[in-house]
Each structure stands twice: as C-alpha cells, then as structure tokens.
Structure 1
C-alpha cells in the first residue's frame, strides 16, 4: 500500500508543479521516447540477469504491495513454536520430536502455528537442523558454522532480485539521455524549419531525459530498495531460528532460548519480555 501511495505522491507532485509553472500536459506525452527508454532498460535487464533472477523479480514485485513481510504476530508465533518444540524435547527427549520434524505438515505441534507452517523456507531451515540435532552427529560449533554459511547463501540469493532492479535503476537516466540525443538528432534534421516546430522537437527530446531520471530515482530505484528490505526481513526470521537453536545446544532452557531469539528481532516487531512470557503461557 505504501508503494502505491508513494508512487501517487510522486506523480501528483511532479505534474502539479509542472502545470503550476505554466507547463502544457500535452508535451509530456511522448510515446516513442517512452518506448526507447523502457525497451532499452528491459532489454539490458534481460541481458544482465539469468532467468531465475528475472522470474524472481516478477514474483517479488506483487508481494511488495502487501507491505511488511512478517507481522509481530508472526514473530510471536515463531518464538512460541520454538518454545513448544524444545520444551517437548527437554521433557521427553530429542527423539520425541522426530515425528514432528519428519512430517511437519501433519504434526499437531506445528499445526498450532499455521503462519509459520506456511513459510516453506523457514520450515525447511528449521527441520533440517533439527534432524541434525536428533541425529547427534555434529557438535555445536560445526552446526553454527554450517548455519552461518547457509544463511549467507540464502540472503545472497534473496538479494539478487534487488541488485538486478537497482542496476536497471542506475541505468535508466542513461537510457533517458539516449532517447534525448535521438530526439535532438531529429530536431537537427529540421533546423531549417519553423522555430515552433524545432522547439517542440527539442522539448520532446528533453522529455526523454526527464523520464529516465524520474523513473530511475522515483520508481525503479525505490522498488529495488524495497526488495532489499524484504530480503533482510526474510533473513531475520531464519536468524531467530538459528540463535534459538544455538541457545538450546549451549544448554539454555527453552524459556531462555527463545529470549535469545527475541533479542535479535527488529525493534518494531520485538515483543517485550513480559509480553512474550504471557504469550507463551497463553499457548499452554
């Protein structure tokens, strides 16, 4: 919603300011300039990026319209689920959670948290390391190093669409200049014509520069930044899982382990100590 609001504010401000200064709206409509800029930008985007990144860009853009990736309730559910999981393991032994880990979709424990169960990447990350814990074949340091490497890889992959969009945003002013130069070339071809005709051709050419700069800095660039924020939010969910698991492996009780997870959350979504404690009691 904020993305649409921001776009409307940009359009309203630019157009209103232009008209207030006596500008004519008709001159802004230059479809061939738009074709040159958008076509060159999209073609460069296709050349620069592999198919998997291109697909992910178009898959992520609609998701940005939903705003924040995870609500506070999602993080609260994650911490509560981790608490229930490790409390069961503490009470009955690690083997007691083996069935839950092997088939989380049919696990009564996991089914209490549909928000988390729907997060395929987070569930895969969690269950993979729980299997290693149940197997008991890795020491905590090895497990932590492996987690760090996987988190780094996942975050890098999640940021690829943002990098692709940011690169296109950086190039858009240049494509605008290309369109403007082509427009000036056309204007020079009419140098012997009436001054009004030449003026209109030059004005049309300058719209190309204007369009490239506006699109790059007000739309495509901010879209890339929004993708970066989304990638960081997705990484944070996995980081909470990692920190909580490591606390358990280092001998902390579940109620303290989830406190480790709470401390690495962003401030806006982080519950207070008592708020989390009451939430955990409420799930019991």
Structure 2
C-alpha cells in the first residue's frame, strides 16, 4: 500500500469539507444530487463516447496501481541479469531454462524463452520491443482516461452551475429561495473543479509516471538479454546497464 497516495486522496476530501466549514457553510451544503448527476455521470458519458469499452475497463484496473504500485528496482533487475549471464557462461543458454518457470512476469519469461531457444540478438530485441511498445501504448491509453476526465469535469461543473442559475432565475419572485438556489448552483462547479484537480489529473500523472518506470525496467531487461545473447562479459553487461540507474 502506497501511504503517500492514500494520504493524498484522504486529504483531498478533508480539504474540501474543512474549507467549507471554515468558510462558514455546512457540510450538508456540499451535497446536491442534481449537481452530482450532472458532473459525475456527465463526465462518465463523455468518457464512454470517447473511449472503447476495453480502454475504460483497463483504466479501472490500473487505478489499483496508484495505491499498490509495482516495485521498480533497476538495481535488483540488473543484478538478476548479471546472474543470468554468469549462468549462461558456465552452463550455456540452456542453463537458464529453470529460471523461466520461476518467473511470474510474462515479459521476463518470454525474453528468457527466446534466449534459451537460441534466438539471434536482433530477433530478441525486435520481438520484445514490439511487446514493450504495445504494452506501453495500452497503459498510456488507460492513464489518458483519467486525464480526459480531468478535462471534462470542470466543464460539466460549469454546465451544472448554469443550469442551477437557470432554476434560480425562475424563482426571482420568491427572494427566500434565491440564496439557497445560488449556493446549490455553485456546488456543481466545486464538484467539477475538485474532481479534476484533486483526483483525476493527479491520478493520470501518477499512472504515466508508473508506466514510464515500467518501460524503463523493460528496456533494461531487453538490453541485458540481448547482451547475454551476444556473449558479452557479465562485468561489461553490468557496466552498460548501470547507465540506466541515476
């Protein structure tokens, strides 16, 4: 569990509620069913129009990465690659076959299988880079869903506010309803802006960062496996891969 992301999410809600109270309003004033429908379901409708169902589904699955991000440890991966290189020099490429079964990452397993099968370095690189680019494109499309939600929701909030003000204008003859009506109208704006800037856009940026780190790990793996296929010295492989580590 990523505590920082969890704290940030909770703090986002607290800021809105506490800010409302400190401004002299009430928590109940933040709840408006009409504004909720317009902003949240309107944003969802826009996303459904823009994206295919598979993209939306993948984006929902990616949300857990924000709070349970995968571990990206380049140094650990480099150490494993150097270990594979040493095994291949002592036992040959077939000596890496037991490593395939112990790997839980399909990308690593595929790379090792290509290596054990005696694939040429260029072939290994081209096959793995296709997988890497495809995976990155799919993940970035999922992150883009949250970014687009952050773009649409403020506009839906403005639409909700305008619709609320329209309702207020229809009750100008009753001054007792004006204050409550105007306050309710601006709740939609709060929903839209808060949803975008406290949640959707930060989530999109975090997911893009995680996708970038995952791609870097795969680049290290591809470079390492190609180096093993070329028969490079383990120390040379380690020195080359250390360039990926800041």
Matched, 1:192 2:194: no
User: 2 CA distance for matches of 1:25 and 1:151?
Assistant: 47
SS of structure 1 residue aligned to 2:174: coil
Gaps of 5+ in 1: 106-110, 112-116, 268-284
Question: TM-score when scaled to structure 2?
Answer: 0.87
Deviation at 1:197, TM superposition (A): 0.6
User: 2 CA distance for matches of 1:261 and 1:130?
Assistant: 18
User: 2 CA distance for matches of 1:172 and 1:193?
Assistant: 32
Choose 11-20 or 211-220, whichever is displaced more: 11-20
Matched, 1:178 2:167: no
Q: Deviations over 1:149-204 (max 9, x none)?
A: 4432221122111011111111100111111111111111112112x311211110
Matched, 1:61 2:37: no
Aligned length: 244
Question: TM-score when scaled to structure 1?
Answer: 0.77
Q: Deviations over 1:40-76 (max 9, x none)?
A: 111222222112211211211123212x42154xx44
Check whether the contact 2:38–2:160 (CA below 8 A) recurs between aligned residues: yes
Deviation at 1:228, TM superposition (A): 0.8
Check whether the contact 1:166–1:221 (CA below 8 A) recurs between aligned residues: yes
Superposition pairs for residues 68-217 of structure 1, below 5 Å? Answer: 68-72=69-73, 75-97=74-96, 99-100=97-98, 104-105=100-101, 111=102, 117-124=103-110, 126-131=111-116, 134-136=117-119, 138=120, 140-141=121-122, 143-194=124-175, 196-217=176-197
User: 2 CA distance for matches of 1:206 and 1:46?
Assistant: 26
Check whether the contact 1:122–1:237 (CA below 8 A) recurs between aligned residues: no
Gaps of 5+ in 2: none
Q: Deviations over 1:61-102 (max 9, x none)?
A: 123212x42154xx44433332232222222333443x437x
Name the residue aligned to 1:228: 208
User: 2 CA distance for matches of 1:26 and 1:160?
Assistant: 37
Deviation at 1:142, TM superposition (A): 5.6
Check whether the contact 1:184–1:201 (CA below 8 A) recurs between aligned residues: yes
